[in-house]
Structure 1
Amino acid sequence: MRRGRIPVLPTVTVVIAAAIMVALGFWQLGRLEEKEALIARYEAALESGEPQPFPADAGGVFDEADLFHPTALECTDVLNREAIAGRAANGAAGFAQIVRCETPRGTAEVKLGWSDRPDFPAYEGGAVRGLITPGGADGARVQADPPLAGLEPLARPDPAELPNNHLAYAGQWFFFAITALVIYALAVRRRWREVDRAARKR
């Protein structure tokens, strides 16, 4: 390879790879705009106080557009119970007590409230009012407000706390693209120098 000649196939491969990385970076920027719009919509839902049924249909399926809207349901039967890590409204760490309920519209998960112990309180079902929040096996659950079964209030859900790392991901893809091009350019330059040294020795 004479000095100044750029290897075609490796160069095309690196440029295509860098172009894909740049495209992924711009895709992440697009996802950033979508996520910001989604969070704004959820914040508007939280302020509107417009109730929505939960689950959204009789098959027990929820509609993502209903997140952060208030709702009401009737827990006709408690199917199972669990305690997960949760934070109280006053910021204290502890446990969120959760039940899966049978309802007239299908099954639904309900966060009954907060306690400082994992021991489950006595709860046999009944009327539930609260907020539709992300989480659970179904993708959404109801956080009871007011809390039930003598439990304390859980921290109020905040749409702004939803994961939104797309800007960081975009930066990573752009950085990878620049790094790949720089490393390849340095490799080609080093190869040229080796060819020059070999030519001078002849």
Structure 2
Amino acid sequence: MVGRRRAALACGSLLGVVALTTAAYFTDFADITTHIDGSGNSFDIVVAGSIDPKWAPAPTEWAQATEEPFLVDLGTDGSLAPGTSRTVRVAVKNASPKLGADIQLVLRDPDPQGTATDPVTGGFVELFDQLEFEVFENDELLLHSDGAQDEAGRTVVWSRALPSTDVRVLDVKVTLPRDVDDRWQRAGTQLQFGFEAVGK
């Protein structure tokens, strides 16, 4: 796994407000498989993202996903009150000159804290298991899951390969349910959007 670059966000100060304590990041994992049958068949997956719902990736925004993870800030203060949502737009591009790629997206907590509690407040420190996730492509719902699901339940698998030079743009909605109570007031999480790819 590549190294993680983390950006801390401020915790919410009002009762019932929790915080996403780090920005989300995106990576394709290092265990990429590819089939080479001639020159020009290098395998290259790049990613980008934004909190702007109308965003479209510009040529200068693509980041090599096998290097330093690309960060997208979920908000200026990171607060997420019960019953509210944040949406980020994520894009993955097959920058290979010839090879198609089977792509899947895995939503992960890279640093799970389980049921750990704050020794001072007694509240939970981990928020990931309380969150709900919806992944859309062109307004089509691909995944509706939550942090309590196992990894298979938080994975999007496409039946069609991503052709050479093509792009997939996804809208990922993160919701903190209304019934999450004050035991999670100061909780936080990390959210990893991992693109796993196999060259074809």
Q: TM-score, normalised by structure 2?
A: 0.27
Greater strand content: 2
Greater helix content: 1
Higher relative contact order at CA 8 Å, sep ≥6: structure 1 or structure 2?
2
Q: TM-score, normalised by structure 1?
A: 0.27
**Bigger Rg, structure 1 or 2:** 1
